[in-house]
Amino acid sequence: MNRVVPVLLCLCLPMLFSCTHLQRELEPPQVRLDAIALESLSLSRQRFRVTLEVHNPNAFRLPIASITYHMTLADVPLTRGRFDEGLSLAAGASQTVNLSVETDLMATGQGLLEWLRQPSEDLPYRMEGEVLPDFSWARARPYRQEGRIRLQH
C-alpha cells in the first residue's frame, strides 16, 4: 500500500498539471456575424437567416458544446438564443452556423421595419454571447463584435 500512493501521484499529477496548462493556453473561439438574410416579411412576422462563422485559433481540435448569442440590428434587439447542437473545429479551422430567427418588428423596431422596406445602406449591429468549449474543465468564454452589415434579400 505504501508504494501504491507514490506511483498514483506520479501518474496523476502530470495529467492534472496538463489540464491546468491547457485551460490557461486555450484561446477563446472567435464568433463573427458572416451574413444576415431576410427570408420572409409580413406585417406580423419577419424571418431572417443569420450565418455565424466560428473560428478555432488554437493548435488543437476544439469541441464546442454551445454558443449563446444576443444580437441587435440598428440598435433594435433582433434575437437572443442558444445554439447547442455542438461543433468540432479542427486546429485553425472555421465553420459556419446557420440560425433561423423570427421576430415581430412592429412591436420592437418600427425604424428597422422601415429600413427593410427600402434598404439603402449597411446597418450597424452588435452581437455578444458566450462560447462553451466541450471540455469538462473549460469555462464559457465571452465574445463581442460590432460592425456594419448589409441585409441580403
User: With pLDDT > 70 as the criterion, what percentage of the chain qualifies?
Assistant: 74
The reported pLDDT for the residue numbered 18 is: 46
CA distances (Å), origin 121, targets 56, 74, 150: 31, 11, 7
Where exactly are the structural domains of the chain? Answer: 27-149
Which of the residue ranges 26-30, 126-130, 139-143, 148-152 would you say has the lowest mean pLDDT? 148-152
* Cell reading at 132: 462553451
The reported pLDDT for the residue numbered 22 is: 47
Average pLDDT over residues 119-129: 85
The reported pLDDT for the residue numbered 147 is: 95
Distance of CA 4 to the CA centre of its chain: 45
The reported pLDDT for the residue numbered 43 is: 73
CA-based end-to-end distance of the chain:
71
* Cell reading at 46: 419577419
The reported pLDDT for the residue numbered 7 is: 56
> pLDDT tens digits for 75-116?
888 889 999 999 999 999 999 999 998 887 666 656 566 666
Short-list 41, 26, 152, 27, CA closest to 98? 152
State the architecture of 27-149 in CATH terms.
Answer: Sandwich (2.60)
The reported pLDDT for the residue numbered 21 is: 42
User: With pLDDT > 90 as the criterion, what percentage of the chain qualifies?
Assistant: 48
